[in-house]
Structure 1
Amino acid sequence: MSRAISTILGGALLLTSVASAAQAGGLERNGYNWDLLFDQERFASEAGVIYVMPDRKIKNAVDTNPLNGTGSDGIGGGATSVDETPNYTVPRFGAKVGLTPEADCLATYSQPWGVHTNPGYDWVGANENIETKIKSNDYGLTCSYKFDMTKGYVRAIGGVSYQEVSGFKRRLVNGLLAQTPFAAAGFDGTGLLDLEADGVGWRVGASYEIPEIAFRASLIYNAEIDLGQINGTVDLTEIPAILAGPTGNPFVGQVTDVYGTATMPQSVEFKWQTGIAPDWLAFGTVKWVDWSVLQVVAFCPTVTKSLGSCGPSSPFRLTSLDLMFQDGWTVSAGIGHKFNEQWSGSAQISWDRGTSTGLTTQTDTYLLSGGVAYTPNKNVELRVGGAVGVLTAGSFGPTDCPGNQPCGTEVTYDFGDDFVSALSISGKVKF
């Protein structure tokens, strides 16, 4: 591949990453990225970070469950409009080695999944959510083998990942507590779910490449990752144990070990690129992610494990993460151009179908991104990019969930067309 095409492609790949992080359907933060595997040099390493600034605002919130107190003070207090999503950072690292002229391997670290919502305590929907945060670590190894064709070559691709997932959710369990003497004693009526799990997944795919014209078409399937047993705790020590009473909730006033099960989604991604004129490159992506595998993730006391499985209809269910995602689709297309021997730029438009069915604010996202790549010499490349977009409007409210358990019954609210932006910087060394 010529240096000119490599420079243009550098900016194009940057846009794929920044767009993925800014759109973030389901629990996606940056998904999977194996582009470094295709680098023509024998050794290449890359590190980067993306900073995303979503401006999602909740408005017209109404507390719909008076049984646990209406509003964060138990009598209707609290805001009806709040900022939901804090800014977040997504790092990534990869190192690729050509073992032979035909065989290459890529080691990666990424944070493919994550979410952070933090509307806070002082709003009327605190019984639904005060703060939720999920994070992940993925350690991957992906290898390929090239087979020469009459023109170009075909590459067979396969790999594995070890993945860690952890997080927490805090919400107001007893809002009426704010109107009792217990509040003055420091009890705030909240409950906290902590969780952690890990699992192993695999991927397989193929590509057809013609380096002379920068043509590549690749299709990669990432298998689902079974997290097995998710271990965690439910902390209800912010509610006095005396309130449980002889027939009340026996878990009030203590920390309880819990367990659940979940699977991170499978995905299929098709990418293409081709030179279309001297110093010009076109590229695009179509990706499907099976987010509907995450519906209601139930958690039961660990001591009940021998009595039956823990699911949405389990009589032992203590709490749950109610997600009810639908499958996600992402479509993007862009163009890149070389300006001179050191500089190139790229622009891309993309659409992400929202994964929400009524229990999250993850609706359709439209994004415009741009970036530049600077190559001072053949061994170093620096990239800077940014994106702006629209998070489309929607609403939150009661949703039918499996197991005859109603979801989203604590609060209703709306959200409008909100702004999202992102910045990205990365560096690459190759030889």
Structure 2
Amino acid sequence: MSKAISTILGGALLVTGMASAAQAGGLERGGYNWDLLFDPSRVATEAGVIYVMPDRKFKNARDINPLDGRGADGIGGGSTSGHETPNYTIPRFGAKLGITSDLDCLGSYSEPWGVHTNPGADWVGANQNIETKIDSKDYGLTCSYKFDVGKGYLRAIGGVSYQEVEGFKERLVLGQVLQSPAAAFGFDGTGKLALKGDGWGWRIGAAYEIPDYAFRASFIYNAEIDLGRINGTIDVTEVPAAFANPLLPFAGRVIDVYGTATMPQSAEFRLQSGIAPGWLAFGSVKWVDWSVLNVVGFCSVTVANCVPSAYATSLDLMFQDGWTISGGVGHKFNDQWSGQVQLSWDRGTSTGLTTQTDTWLLSTGVAYTPNDKFEVRVGGAVGMLTSGEYGPPRSCPSRSGICGGDVAYDFGDDFVGALSLSAKLKF
């Protein structure tokens, strides 16, 4: 592959990764990225960071269940509008080694999954969410083997990943505490679920490349990752034990809980080709099986069979599958500089219990390559998070048989932006 095409492609991968981080649905953050595996150098290392600025706002919030809430029609008042999503950062690192002329292996660290919503405790939907945060770590090893086929070569790709997932959700579980004498002693009526799990996954794929034309078609399937038994705790010490009731039997206590969950399988097809001297076109289609995360229930460790009727609490997600379609072009300006632009669309994964609706994103980036050993890339993106609504209540396999029964609200078209910086060192 010529230096010109390599430089253009490097920037193209920058905007592709930034688009995924800024717009993906479900719990996707950095997603998966194995592009360093295709670098023609025998040894290549890459480190990068993406900073995402979503500005999702909610409005017209209504407290559906004032008995556990603090709405204007319930207990303690609260705002009916506000901001939901804080900014976040996604790091990544990879190191690729050409073991032989045909066998390459990539070791990688990424944070593929995550979410952070923080509307706070002073809105009418605090009984649905005060703060939720989930983080992940993925340690991957992916290898490919090349076979000469026609004018190019075919790669067989395979690998494994070990993932760690942890997080928490805090919400108001009993609004009456806010107007009781207990409030004077610092009790705020909140409860907090903390969880942690891990598991192994694998991937398989293939790619066909013709370096002289910068042509590559690749398809990679990532298997689901079964987190097995997720261990955690429910902390309800902010509710005095005197308020215990059949729906809140653990008031005043911290209990150990467990549940099960599976992170989704995914498949992605990517295509790129030189289209004129110094020009490259690229695009991708990705599917993620987010519907595997429906209702994630948690039971006390004293319960042998964790079925919906025994749930102490649950994360009600009810995602639908995600689809992402992207396309763009790159151009080499001179021996050191190239630029790229890309347009992406992501089908929202929400079925009414999250604010993850369709997203459009325009991203661009530049790559600077002063020599054959070093490359630095910077990029930016702007996009639109489309409007929708949360709720109304619906039937689901939760402890109460109802999901989204605490609050309802609307959200309009909102802005999302992202900045990216990465560097590659080759030997």
Q: Which residue of 2 aligns with 1:376?
A: 370
Q: Which residue of 1 aligns with 2:397?
A: 402
Counterpart mapping for 1:15-414 below 5 A: 15-71=15-71, 75-244=75-244, 249-305=248-304, 308=305, 310-311=306-307, 313=308, 315-397=309-391, 398-402=393-397, 405-414=401-410
Residue 74 of structure 1 deviates from its aligned partner by: 5.4
Secondary structure of residue in 2 paired with 1:276 = strand
User: Which amino acid in 1 is paired with 2:290?
Assistant: W
Quick check: 1:72–1:126 contact (8 Å CA) kept in 2?
no
For 1:79 and 1:248, the matched residues in 2 are separated by 26
Secondary structure of residue in 2 paired with 1:66 = coil
Secondary structure of residue in 2 paired with 1:176 = helix
Q: Deviations over 1:133-179 (max 9, x none)?
A: 00000000000000001210000000000000000000000111111
- Extract unaligned runs of 5+ from structure 2: none
For 2:374 and 2:248, the matched residues in 1 are separated by 62
Quick check: 2:76–2:179 contact (8 Å CA) kept in 1?
no
For 1:162 and 1:325, the matched residues in 2 are separated by 24
User: Which amino acid in 2 is paired with 1:262?
Assistant: A
Residue 250 of structure 1 deviates from its aligned partner by: 3.0
For 1:82 and 1:273, the matched residues in 2 are separated by 42
User: Which amino acid in 1 is paired with 2:369?
Assistant: T
Quick check: 2:67–2:75 contact (8 Å CA) kept in 1?
no
For 1:73 and 1:121, the matched residues in 2 are separated by 16
Residue 400 of structure 1 deviates from its aligned partner by: 2.6
User: Which amino acid in 1 is paired with 2:368?
Assistant: Y
User: Which amino acid in 1 is paired with 2:101?
Assistant: P
Secondary structure of residue in 1 paired with 2:6 = helix
Output the aligned Cα RMSD. Answer: 1.2
Secondary structure of residue in 1 paired with 2:310 = coil
Quick check: 1:72–1:122 contact (8 Å CA) kept in 2?
no
User: Which amino acid in 2 is paired with 1:401?
Assistant: C
User: Which amino acid in 1 is paired with 2:323?
Assistant: W
Q: Deviations over 1:375-418 (max 9, x none)?
A: 01110000000100000000001133135711101110000000
For 2:72 and 2:300, the matched residues in 1 are separated by 27
Match of residue 424, structure 1, among 413, 420, 427? 420
Quick check: 2:5–2:278 contact (8 Å CA) kept in 1?
yes
With normalisation by structure 1, the TM-score equals 0.97
With normalisation by structure 2, the TM-score equals 0.98
For 2:347 and 2:311, the matched residues in 1 are separated by 32
Q: Deviations over 1:26-49 (max 9, x none)?
A: 000011000000000100000000
For 1:74 and 1:177, the matched residues in 2 are separated by 13
Q: Deviations over 1:61-93 (max 9, x none)?
A: 010112224429952511100100000000000
Residue 242 of structure 1 deviates from its aligned partner by: 1.8
Quick check: 1:72–1:123 contact (8 Å CA) kept in 2?
no
Quick check: 2:67–2:74 contact (8 Å CA) kept in 1?
no
Quick check: 2:63–2:74 contact (8 Å CA) kept in 1?
no
- CA 1:45/1:72 → structure 2, altered by over 3 Å: closer, same or farther? farther
For 1:329 and 1:249, the matched residues in 2 are separated by 39
For 2:53 and 2:248, the matched residues in 1 are separated by 40
Quick check: 1:71–1:175 contact (8 Å CA) kept in 2?
no
- CA 1:193/1:137 → structure 2, altered by over 3 Å: closer, same or farther? same
Quick check: 1:94–1:108 contact (8 Å CA) kept in 2?
yes
User: Which amino acid in 1 is paired with 2:425?
Assistant: V
User: Which amino acid in 2 is paired with 1:378?
Assistant: D
For 1:381 and 1:73, the matched residues in 2 are separated by 58
Give the count of matched residue pairs.
425
Calculate percent identity across the aligned residue pairs.
73
Quick check: 1:359–1:399 contact (8 Å CA) kept in 2?
no
- Extract unaligned runs of 5+ from structure 1: none
For 1:127 and 1:224, the matched residues in 2 are separated by 32
- CA 1:112/1:33 → structure 2, altered by over 3 Å: closer, same or farther? same
Secondary structure of residue in 1 paired with 2:178 = helix
- CA 1:14/1:393 → structure 2, altered by over 3 Å: closer, same or farther? same
Quick check: 2:389–2:410 contact (8 Å CA) kept in 1?
yes
